[in-house]
Homo-oligomer: A and B are copies of this chain.
Amino acid sequence: MVYIGIDLGGTNIAVGVVSEAGSILAEASTKTLYQRPYQEIVKDMADCAMKALAKANLTVDDVKSIGIGIPGVANQETGMVIFCTNLGWADIPLRDELQKYINKPVFIDNDANVAGLAESYAGVSAGCKSSVFITLGTGVGGGIIIDGKTWTGAHSRAGEMGHLNLVVDGIPCTCGNNGCVERYCSATALIHMGKQACLGYPDCDIMKRASGDPEKINAKIVIDSAKAGDPVAVRIFAEYTRYLALFINTITSFFDPDMIVLGGGVSHAGEFLLNAIREQLPRYLMFKALPAPKLELAQLGNEAGIIGAAMLGKTI
């Protein structure tokens, strides 16, 4: 038996046929065109699933279940999408609509939860009883995985890592609060720190790499500049990773998973990022003599969306 995994994004619908072991056997995709009625989008999901099955020389009879990762919040019991801001969706009966085309069990979950689940089946956290996945991208998202299942909480609120409070009365956040993790630990935050620093040091290495245009500064430039040893970038990166260490310490003291996995754009900084955080963590850690959660990089990249969605229906 195989699993269908659907990665529903604001731009693309990516669908894969996934094996029991969590590898993608075939894929199909199409544009989301999210302004359309949701019924058309769901029909395209089903069409892509059929195409991917055909590519893999399989039929619906080989499918055990379908999983969908959405950029929003779902009610797992009713199969409703509660909301999906980027798609303009609210109270959409996604499961029922999809089952009109393919009558198999359908599971729906947040895309960051799903990416964490993928890592726990087929990526770096495979074999862990518990893990926490964090995406460091435009925003900060995340997911909690326990015993091969996403932990969505009692009201579908769990894993909103980006909006834990990190700094009391800190930087205003798009969510309406102040001082959220997202304002200090996202790629956006790192870029903002880079731009701010360049105001005071217009001749610094970051500016050189951005061809003198602060608007061209991105996370990779700041990180590359820190790797090269530029003092301004080194200071910024130390500040950024200090916030990450504080955030990771909160996860450790509260939940203490086997592993904390970093994904998203900033995680492409690789060992340089891990080492910087690992250096700062012991300062904050309680019970210094006890072992602590492993800190690792995500392995699956873009495939995590499809694999994780597929694995929503898998039971261990």
Within 8 A of B (CB), among A111-164: 128-130, 144, 146, 151-161, 163-164
Contact B256 A254 (CB under 8 A): no
Indicate whether A249 reaches chain B with its CB closer than 8 angstroms. yes
Q: Judge whether B82 and A290 touch: CB under 8 Å.
A: yes
Residue A257 lies at the interface, judged by CB distance under 8 Å to chain B: yes
Report the nearest B residue to A246, measured CB to CB.
B165
Q: Which B residues touch A205, using CB under 8 A?
A: none
User: How many chain copies does the complex carry?
Assistant: 2
**B246/A168 in contact, CB under 8 A:** yes
A290 and B166: CB pair below 8 A?
A: no
On chain B, the residues within 8 Å of A175 by CB distance are 286
Closest B residue, CB atoms, query A158? B256
The count of residues in chain A whose C-beta lies closer than 8 Å to any C-beta of chain B is 48
Q: How far is the CA of A286 from the CA of B166 in the complex (A)?
A: 15
The interface residues of chain B lying within 8 Å CB-to-CB of A287 are: 73, 83, 157, 160
Is A272 positioned at the interface, with any CB of B under 8 Å from its CB?
Answer: no
Closest Cβ of chain B to A90, distance in Å, is: 9
Q: 0/1 per residue, A156-193, Cβ < 8 Å to B?
A: 11111101111110000001010000000000000000
A256-B154 CB under 8 A given contacts A175-B286, A284-B177, A286-B160: yes
- In chain A, positions 238-288 with a C-beta closer than 8 Å to chain B are 243, 246, 249-258, 283-284, 286-287
Name the B residues within 8 Å of A82 (CB-CB): 290
Measured between beta carbons, the chain B residues less than 8 angstroms from A292 are 155, 157
Could you say which of B130, B146, B157, B290 contacts A290, with CB atoms under 8 Å apart?
B157
Any B CB within 8 A of the CB of A37: no
Q: Please, which residue of chain B has its CB at the minimum distance from the CB of A162? A: B253
List 8 contacting pairs A-B, 8 Å CB cutoff, sorted by A: A154-B257, A155-B292, A158-B254, A161-B254, A163-B253, A164-B250, A164-B254, A166-B168
